[in-house]
Amino acid sequence: MFPALAESTEVYLDSASTTQKPRPVIEAVHRYHSSRTANAGRGSYPWATTLTRAVAEVRARTAEFLGAATEEIVFTAGATAGLNAIALAWGLAALDDGDEILYSPRDHASNVYPWQQLRATLRRFGRHIRLVPYRVTALGEADIDDIAAKLGPRTRLITVSHLHHVFGARTTLEELRGRLDPRVLLCFDCSQSAGHLPVDVEALGADFAVLSAHKMFGAPGTGVLYCRARVHDQLTAFLPGGNSAVAVADSGLAPGNMPELLEGGTPNLPGVLALGAALEFLDTVGLDAIAAHNRALTGQLIEGLRPVPGLEFLPGPAHAPCETGYGIVSFTLDGIGATDLGFVLAECGFLVRTGAHCVPSGSIAAADDDSVRVSTHLYNTAEEIDRFVRCVTTIATEVR
């Protein structure tokens, strides 16, 4: 089912970086390039109209996957592109002088840098917004009490990682339900949660959400931006081009319809078709089954590593009072740096991520800047986790 794994003896434990691709996804990309290649929404001949219908079907499937309406689904170049689209299409148009955005400096850089760039851009035009950082708990979750304490009359957006890319902790903001001013919008980075556990934007109360296709069995260069219908009148075209807006003489551009408003230019068509194949694959396997599998592997990994001398877990499920986990565990080991440990593990056949994991420099805790991250998915097995634990135990004994 996963050709790259079938031809390798190594154990892939870096799915938080990118997932391996199942054969139907690979075939979807190949089929677009090898049979009736055309553009979507641009022609009336059968090749083009068939592709237009296929893209519409993927949009509808994506909407169903998230519990959204089809006009709320925007195809992007990835989660990073989606978050930047929010900053440009909403932030530039909707934020006033003195408005505030609450964010976590310990989130992925893609959920930090766009807001910093937005602040710098607005400053050049005389508008000054504030970025208000909030803390992360020992469990790796957004600190709800700290967020609540920092909410103010000028708060306009709270942005969070639904599933943290280093800590493996889930944040839903459900504790704030009913306590927020309707003007406060909620943005969820679902790059790590989508494809690992069910994501329901209505249940989350999300106004914006972003997905990364390559982290959910799809192809690189494709993502999804969910924009709740209530914010559509606050958006402007950030990438003007074909389909994105309607020209008005001498007075700029009038907004087009969603989702075309935010989809200027030709989309990554093979990537969109691959996303459709990935969603079909996920539906066949079942997200509940995937979540249960990752939860079991996470628990097994934590309990196996807990007795290892000199090993220290970063915030996350290892510190939770009850069994939890979504397939991401990060740790350090006394006596050896994470990068060196990663090289040794690779020599032993285990492929993991090391370093700061795209957490912005200058905003990370001392323990976060050099760690090993293990991330699992449905193609990993309990036997592989046992072998990995034994390998880390041996390394820990030798370096001590």
Is 268 in the same domain as 131?
A: yes
Query: Which candidate, 291, 242, 255, places its Cα nearest to that of 89?
Result: 255
Tokens 């504790």: give the residue. 175
Instruction: Please say if the pLDDT value at position 190 is more than 90.
Output: yes
Supply the pLDDT for residue 253: 66
pLDDT tens-digit readout, 242-292: 766 666 656 666 667 899 999 988 899 999 999 999 999 999 999 999 999
Supply the pLDDT for residue 324: 85
Query: Which candidate, 89, 112, 90, places its Cα nearest to that of 99?
Result: 90
- Report the CATH number at residue 171: 3.40.640.10
DSSP three-state, residue 9: coil
Supply the pLDDT for residue 340: 93
Is 269 in the same domain as 300?
A: no
Is 146 in the same domain as 253?
A: yes
Supply the pLDDT for residue 364: 47
Supply the pLDDT for residue 174: 95
DSSP three-state, residue 320: coil
Is 86 in the same domain as 105?
A: yes
Residues 6+ apart with CB under 8 A from 159: 83, 101, 102, 103, 104, 107, 111, 115, 186, 187, 188, 189
CA 11 to chain centre: 23
Is 158 in the same domain as 301?
A: no
- 275, β-bridge pairs: none
pLDDT, greater one: 299 or 320: 299
- Report the CATH number at residue 9: 3.90.1150.10
Q: Which pTM value belongs to this model?
A: 0.94
Is 40 in the same domain as 116?
A: yes
User: Per-residue pLDDT averaged across 348-372, rounded?
Assistant: 75
Is 160 in the same domain as 234?
A: yes
Exposure on the CB side of residue 101, measured as CA atoms within 13 A: 27
Is 178 in the same domain as 31?
A: yes
Supply the pLDDT for residue 365: 47
Exposure on the CB side of residue 157, measured as CA atoms within 13 A: 28
Q: State the average pLDDT for the chain.
A: 93
> Of 252, 282, 312, which residue is a domain's last?
282
Domain count, the chain: 2
Tokens 């539906």: give the residue. 283
Domain that holds residue 146: 23-282
Supply the pLDDT for residue 43: 83
User: Per-residue pLDDT averaged across 335-359, rounded?
Assistant: 90
Is 175 in the same domain as 155?
A: yes
- 358 counts as catalytic: yes
> Of 282, 300, 316, which residue is a domain's last?
282
User: Per-residue pLDDT averaged across 345-373, rounded?
Assistant: 78
> Of 236, 266, 282, which residue is a domain's last?
282
Residue 78 burial by Cβ neighbours in a 10 Å radius (0-12, 13-18, 19+): buried
Supply the pLDDT for residue 240: 83
pLDDT tens-digit readout, 208-230: 999 999 999 999 999 999 999 99
Is 107 in the same domain as 146?
A: yes
User: Per-residue pLDDT averaged across 194-201, rounded?
Assistant: 96
- Active-site residue, selected from the candidate residues 187, 190, 358, 391: 358
pLDDT tens-digit readout, 109-156: 999 999 999 999 999 999 999 999 999 999 999 999 999 999 999 999
pLDDT tens-digit readout, 62-79: 999 999 999 999 999 999
Is 69 in the same domain as 203?
A: yes
